[in-house]
Amino acid sequence: MDEKYKSLLIQELKQELTNASNISTGTIAAKIEDIGFSCLMCGKCCRREFGDNRVLLIPQEIQVISDHTILEAHEIATPATSDGSDSDLIDTDGKIHTFGWMLARKSNGDCNFIEDAETSNKCKIHEVRPMLCRTYPFYMQDMELHTSECEGLGRKIAPEESLTIAHDLINRYVAEIEDTIALYEKFEEFTPNPENIEIKNIRTNEDNHVVYVVHDSKGTHEVIKEFNESTNFID
């Protein structure tokens, strides 16, 4: 990434951070109350069969979950992949570069922390669940409130619950911008592979393992993962 471009991005993010820090919780809470929301505990946002259930995490969230569960970071999070088609993220050594982490998923693609039984959609780490789960189906982007697909939208919500979600939402927005700024500041350049290899076609060694290079707000980390035919590296 060109240094000039990088510093421009950081500058823009810092401005967004200032603006985000000044968002009124009451204004967002009023919007949430207008939209309405009540969780039906259907578990659709946690299960792969209903669509994109990736939960992006910042490193501090992985630490909080680790402290609570005594699980190791690699059991909690995995490199945040896209849809597996970004060939420009493969470097000249065949390593796959990703930006940040997402919550690990089971072999069927469901969140690792949702109870197995189909009848139960309980979250095993509910107390320390990531900010994205805490605020789902709402998110902030470009200073605006947005919603994701969810059948619980449009239902009556208590004012105090709207306030709690608004508060968490603004905290999440600020934390994510801060994290992205730190990621850019620590970002280490890599040379994209000149051959147009698709991620799904990578098999880096005889052991059927691939190497990810994860860029996050703490720096750069190499992670070796077993190739997973059924998930196409997504998990």
Question: What does the alpha-carbon distance between residue 131 and residue 34 come to, in Å, rounded to a whole number?
Answer: 22
Min CB(77)–ligand SF4 separation in Å: 20
Q: Which pair of structure tokens corresponds to residue 157?
A: 């919500």
Binding window for ligand SF4 (CB under 6 A); candidates: 33-41, 52-60, 99-107, 200-208:
33-41
Pick one of 32, 43, 89, 178: the residue that binds ligand SF4 (CB under 6 A): 43
Question: Any contact of residue 55 with ligand SF4 (CB under 6 A)?
Answer: no
Q: How many CB atoms lie within 10 A of CB 130?
A: 23
Min CB(41)–ligand SF4 separation in Å: 5
Pick one of 13, 20, 32, 45: the residue that binds ligand SF4 (CB under 6 A): 45
Question: Any contact of residue 41 with ligand SF4 (CB under 6 A)?
Answer: yes
Question: Any contact of residue 224 with ligand SF4 (CB under 6 A)?
Answer: no
Question: Any contact of residue 151 with ligand SF4 (CB under 6 A)?
Answer: yes
What torsion, rounded to 10 degrees, do the Cα atoms 27, 33, 35, 38 define?
140
Binding window for ligand SF4 (CB under 6 A); candidates: 59-67, 149-157, 171-179, 222-230:
149-157
Report the residue number, 42 or 224, with the smaller CB distance to ligand SF4.
Answer: 42
Min CB(142)–ligand SF4 separation in Å: 23
Q: Between the CA of residue 25 and those of 28, 34, 171, 202, 227, what are the distances in Å?
A: 5, 14, 10, 46, 44
Strand-pair category, 209-216 with 96-99: parallel
Binding window for ligand SF4 (CB under 6 A); candidates: 28-36, 40-48, 70-78, 167-175:
40-48
Binding window for ligand SF4 (CB under 6 A); candidates: 34-42, 139-147, 191-199, 202-210:
34-42
Cβ distance 150 to 156 under 8 Å? Answer: no
Question: What does the alpha-carbon distance between residue 169 and residue 11 come to, in Å, rounded to a whole number?
Answer: 23
Q: Which residues have CB under 8 Å from 135's CB, separation 6+?
A: 165, 168, 169, 172
Q: Considering only residues 126 through 145, tell me which ones interact with ligand SF4, judged by CB under 6 A.
A: 136-137
Q: Which pair of structure tokens corresponds to residue 151?
A: 């059948």
Binding window for ligand SF4 (CB under 6 A); candidates: 37-45, 68-76, 138-146, 172-180:
37-45
Cβ distance 109 to 55 under 8 Å? Answer: no
Which residues are near ligand SF4 by CB under 6 A?
Answer: 39-45, 136-137, 150-152
